[in-house]
Amino acid sequence: MNYRDIIVFDFETGSRNPAKTQPTQIAAIALHGRKLTAQPGGIFNSEIRPILNDDKAIEMGLDPVEDEALDITHKTRKELAKAPHLKTVWKKFGEFVNKFNFKKTPYFAPIPAGYNIIGFDLPIVQRVCEEHGPTDKQGRQCLFNRIHKVDVMDMVWQWMENNPDVKSLSMDSMREYMGFPEESKEGAHDALQDVKDTANMMIRFFKFYRSLAPKVKFEKAFADGNFYV
Amino acid sequence: MFDINDTSYDCRKTWSLICDGRTKGVFQLESQLGRSWAKRLKPRNIEELAALSALLRPGCLKAIVDGKSMTQHYVDRKNGHEETSYLDESLKPILEPTYGVLVYQEQSMRIAQEIAGFNLQQADDLRKAIGKKKAGLMAEVKKTFIRGCENVSIVSKEIAEEIFGWIEKSNRYAFNKSHAVSYAICGYWSAYCKAHFPLHFYCSYLYHSHGKQDQQQEVKELVSDAKMHDIIVMPPKIDNLKSHFNIKDGNIYFGLRDVKYIGDSQVEKVVSGIEEIEKKYNQGIKDISWYRILINLADKVNSNAMLALISIGALNSDYTITRNRMLYEFETWSSLTKKEKDWARENCDDPQGLFPERGNRGLETTLEKLFPTKKEGGGTHNSKRREIVRDLLDLLKNPPYELEDVPDWIATEEHKYLGVSLTYSKIDGCDTGASNTTCKEFLQGKPGKVVLGVEIVSLREWTIKKGNSKGSIMAFLSVEDSTASMDSVIIFPEAWLKNKPLLYAGNTVLLSGKKSSKDTTLIVEKVFQI
């Protein structure tokens, strides 16, 4: 099978609704698809200036930036007011992602990965792409690969669903459970730290799968006619 | 002045080049097949070289007699591994130069003349009958041939029939000798040029590579072969932007037309753009800063051409700025409006050196001056543009991703735009401390156990069809490092199974193995990820 690079990414945002939230930071780390190592020059990190005027944000159909969200992400309105706007950052992010699309076609676009990206970050990507590009003729984002995506939270769920020691599937719980060092916990909700921790979890799972793969036989798995449903 | 017609046909250097199989670019012998048979046959004169070009044809290679191809018979007999025999001693004078193998159509004609008494017209009819496979004509010629043999009485009727059958079968492979000799002379000439004028040889072959079916592959092979002869091929350089492959200071440089995404019209624009910049600043382009090249050239050529030129390092006037930084600055510059760019050129540059405060500024300083609105003393037209330019400035000061050039990235970009990685190979960015040799050293015959750090360029799986390992899979690899390419790397089934996950095109690995006893094939035993 052809391989593509994987880009683990994460947004920090000003609220919880992916349809209306305003990103305040984006970070990403590009991994070599086969080697699962960080690509040289493969780290992206930028704060994003949201619309800090609540009325203006609402008028534009966006959620105002919540103080609670700022507390969680350790950001202040003053700092964010100095950050570059989403449009400019998004363009740079597009250039960054494109660096790892080695054939420069949508089919070879890097695979998006992250923690809870299917439910949260990818809808934001779609929304921002609709506003600032790139999209295809059908209006679908074409920054990342559209066929494959890796949500590490799903991987965790598949392996931990019956594990009573796991309190929840949140990133913080998993950090605790998997024994990430203190500095990781301190940096929680900084997009870059979250991305690094997510990438480490994902690589651990991938390496495990790859070591198992040659030992598990799926070929003709249903040839004996034994179906579950 | 060198005249090809003055070359002697006994140049030791030229024959060594042919015998060593270093015949990439040599007429008729440049394919992998040609190279490998040249090495095995080791021709030492035009007669043998002509035979080689005839024996390389599919007919000869596929004509199996006593379990071996005609080509192999010839090689074995020439090298003394097989006794030279003749169907009849009377054929010896005709077939001796080709070690008893019927290589040429002219030999069939001479046999017919000698043993069947054919005149030249009849002999030519025989050649035509064989060549055109006309059954009726063939039967007629056969009768004449047998009758002729009986009359001449050099061979018996049985032997005559056997010889005719042999001649008949030779239509699958026998070649025209005059043709083969012409090929051999052209082949010798090109080998002579390669041996004596390698720099011009490679430059010329690279120049004409566009005539090949797969130009990219041709360029790649020529560059790799040039490395073996210590000839360096480089990307276009700012002070040497020519249209085509060219030679400067003992190196070969890519021309702009040989860069992907740069068409003919763009070549002209780049060259005239550079000339204008030199004129404007009254300096050689090498002494002009990247900033000045950017603000003066970026809007004259199209964006794809600029990206290509920057990515291959063709616009580096000095090496204090990375290609990634240049790309980043180009994208930033491209985000400005035409009016902002004009304002920047007017207010942030000083070609005549009259206003030192304007000077030769970098893009960062330019954006700092530009971002306030015109009312505020800057160059933007409204507050919205001011914000955008200020964002660009912030991101220029604090880029969200690293702008270093790493060997792996440079190798990938050069491969994308030039079809071959010139400045670095992907392996240059890897830890190859455990390797004990390079591809070039291996090809030059380094003995013993070897460990090579390489990038896998391509891989071909092969299912074994005979013997104890029937049905098992082995693989043939093409690999390269910065010194050379090797397309003769074999991994047998056991090692293949153990190392399969690491073996894919584009991966960088350490290959541990040994040289095959017959040639410079590497037999891989172990593979390690690097």
pLDDT per residue as tens digits for the range A195-227: 999 999 999 999 999 889 888 889 999 999 999
Residue with tokens 């006994």: B10
What is the C-alpha to C-alpha distance for residues B485 and B488, in angstroms, rounded to an integer? 9
Question: How many other CB atoms are found less than 10 A from the CB of residue B210?
Answer: 12
CA–CA separation, A32 and A41 (whole Å): 12
Please tell me the distance in Å from B506's CA to the nearest CA on chain A.
10
Q: Residue B328: is its pLDDT beyond 80?
A: yes
pLDDT of residue B386: 94
Under an 8 A CB cutoff, do B400 and A96 touch?
yes
Question: Residue B194 pLDDT > 90, yes or no?
Answer: yes
Taking a C-beta distance cutoff of 8 angstroms, is the pair B292, B277 a contact?
A: yes
Convert the pLDDT of each residue in B232-260 to its tens digit. 999 999 999 999 999 999 999 999 999 99
Radius of gyration of chain A measured on its C-alpha atoms = 19
Which residue in the set A43, A84, A91 is minimally distant from B401, CB to CB?
A43
- Cβ <8 Å between B335 and A91: yes
pLDDT at B488: 87
**Selection from B57, B55, B39 nearest residue B47 by Cα:** B55
Does A117 have pLDDT greater than 70? yes
Residue B119 within any structural domain of the chain: yes
Q: pLDDT-based confidence at B355, cuts 50/70/90?
A: low
Could you tell me the pLDDT band of residue A150, with boundaries at 50, 70 and 90? very high
In terms of Cα–Cα distance, which of A28, A38, A152, A48 is closest to A97?
A28
Specify the amino acid at residue B285: I
B26 and B164 in a common domain? yes
- In whole angstroms, what is the distance from residue B125 CA to residue B132 CA? 10
Residue identified by tokens 């779609």 is A126
| 8 Å CB contact of B401 and A34 | no
Instruction: Give the pLDDT band (50/70/90) at residue B68.
Output: confident
Highest mean pLDDT among A80-94, A98-112, B348-362, B424-438: A80-94
Over residues A33-59, mean pLDDT: 93
- Asked whether residue B290 carries a pLDDT value surpassing 70, the answer given is yes
The reply to whether B371 and B512 lie within a common domain is no
Residues of A in contact with B501 (CB under 8 A): 210, 214
Specify whether the CB–CB gap between B177 and B106 falls below 8 A.
yes
B362 assigned to some structural domain:
yes
Cα B473 to chain centroid, rounded: 28
Expressed as residue numbers, the domain containing B525 is 426-529
Q: Are residues B451 and B381 in the same domain?
A: no
Q: Domain for residue A30, yes or no?
A: yes
Q: Is residue B284 part of a domain?
A: no
* Angle, vertex CA B75, rays to CA B69 and CA B77, nearest 5: 100
Residues 6+ apart with CB under 8 A from B187: B18, B26, B27, B28, B29, B49, B53
Specify if A98 maps to a domain. Answer: yes
Crossing angle for the helix pair B363-370 and B338-347, nearest 10 degrees?
110
Facing B401 at nearest CB: one of A35, A44, A49: A44
The rounded distance, in Å, linking the Cα atoms of B175 and B178 is 9
Q: Is B472 contained in some domain?
A: yes
What integer pLDDT is reported at residue B354 of this predicted model? Answer: 56
Residues recorded for chain A: 229
Nearest to A40 by CA among B110, B235, B412, B404: B404
In a domain, A221, yes or no: no
Q: Which stretches of B398-444 are DSSP H helices?
A: 407-418, 439-443
User: Could you give the 3-state DSSP secondary structure of residue A229?
Assistant: coil
Shared-domain flag, residues B477 and B516: yes
Distance (Å, rounded) from C-alpha A27 to C-alpha A19?
A: 19
- Partner residue opposite A45 with nearest CB, options B400, B501, B529: B400
Report the DSSP pairing between strands B522-529 and B485-491.
parallel
Q: If we measure between CA atoms, which residue out of A115, A152, A15, A153 comes closest to residue A73?
A: A15
Rounded Cα–Cα distance for residues B71 and B93 (Å): 20
Q: Residue B55: inside a domain, yes or no?
A: yes
**Is A226 within the bounds of a domain?**
no
Within-domain flag for B476: yes
Greater confidence, B312 or B229? B312
Last residue of a domain, one of B115, B149, B177: B177
| Residue A225 within any structural domain of the chain | no
Q: Is the domain of B15 the same as that of B164?
A: yes
Cis peptide before A134 (omega within 30 of 0): yes
Q: Looking at CA atoms only, how far is residue A153 from chain B in angstroms?
A: 26
A41 interface with B at CB cutoff 8 Å: yes
Contact (CB<8Å) B400/A210: no
The pLDDT of B469-486, averaged and rounded, is: 90
Domain that holds residue A152: 6-215
Determine, yes or no, domain membership for A70: yes
Q: B312 and B234 in contact (C-beta within 8 Å)?
A: no
Answer whether residue A184 shows pLDDT above 80: no
Quick check: A46 and B402 CB within 8 A? no
Which domain CATH number covers B502?
A: 2.40.50.140
* Least confidently predicted of B62-66, B180-184, B387-391: B62-66
Interface test with A, best of B330, B335, B401, B421 (most A CBs within 10 A): B401
Q: Within this chain, do residues B434 and B486 fall inside the same structural domain, yes or no?
A: yes
Among B372, B404, B436, where does a domain finish?
B404
Report how far residue A102's alpha carbon sits from residue A110's, in angstroms, rounded to the nearest whole number: 9
**Among B residues 332-351, those touching chain A with beta carbons less than 8 Å apart:** 335
Give the single-character DSSP code of A8. E
B54 lies in the same domain as B111: yes
Alpha helices (runs of H) in B10-84, residue ranges in sequence order: 12-19, 32-41, 46-55, 58-62, 70-78
Judgement on whether residues B172 and B59 belong to the same structural domain of the protein: yes
Rounded distance, CA B3 to CA B330, Å? 49
For residues B318, B323, B328, B334, the Cα torsion angle rounded to the nearest 10 degrees is 70
Over range A128-146, report the average pLDDT. Answer: 94
**Rounded to an integer, what distance in angstroms lies between the CA atom of residue B367 and that of residue B335?**
11
Q: How many other C-beta atoms lie within 10 A of the C-beta of residue B129? A: 22
> Are B473 and B490 spatial neighbours (Cβ–Cβ below 8 Å)?
no
Cβ contact B235:B312 at 8 Å? yes
Together in a domain, B351 and B441: no
Domains: count for chain B: 3
B494 and B345 housed in the same domain: no
Q: DSSP label at A15?
A: S
Residue B359 predicted with pLDDT over 60: no
For the ranges A1-15, B163-177, B349-363, B490-504, the lowest mean pLDDT is seen at: B349-363
Alpha-carbon dihedral sign for residues B408, A38, A124, B396? negative
Better pLDDT: A183 or A13: A13
In this structure, of A49-58, B69-78, B350-359, the range with the lowest mean pLDDT score is: B350-359
**Residues β-bridged to residue B104:** B175
pLDDT at position B356: 53
Band (pLDDT 50/70/90 cuts) for residue B357 is: low
State how beta strands B251-253 and B246-248 pair. antiparallel
Q: Do B23 and B163 have their domain in common?
A: yes
Residue A38, domain CATH: 3.30.420.10
Higher-confidence position of B213 and A147:
A147
Q: What is the pTM of this model?
A: 0.83
Average pLDDT over all residues of chain B: 89
Residue B403 with chain A: CB contacts under 8 Å = 41
Other C-beta atoms within 10 Å of B170: how many?
A: 22
Residue B490's pLDDT is what? Answer: 95
Return all residues near A152 (Cβ < 8 A) that are at least 6 apart: A113, A114, A115, A198, A201, A202, A205
**pLDDT of res. B90:** 85
B235 forms bridges with which residues in the sheet? none
Number of structural domains in chain A? 1
Domain-embedded: residue B311? no
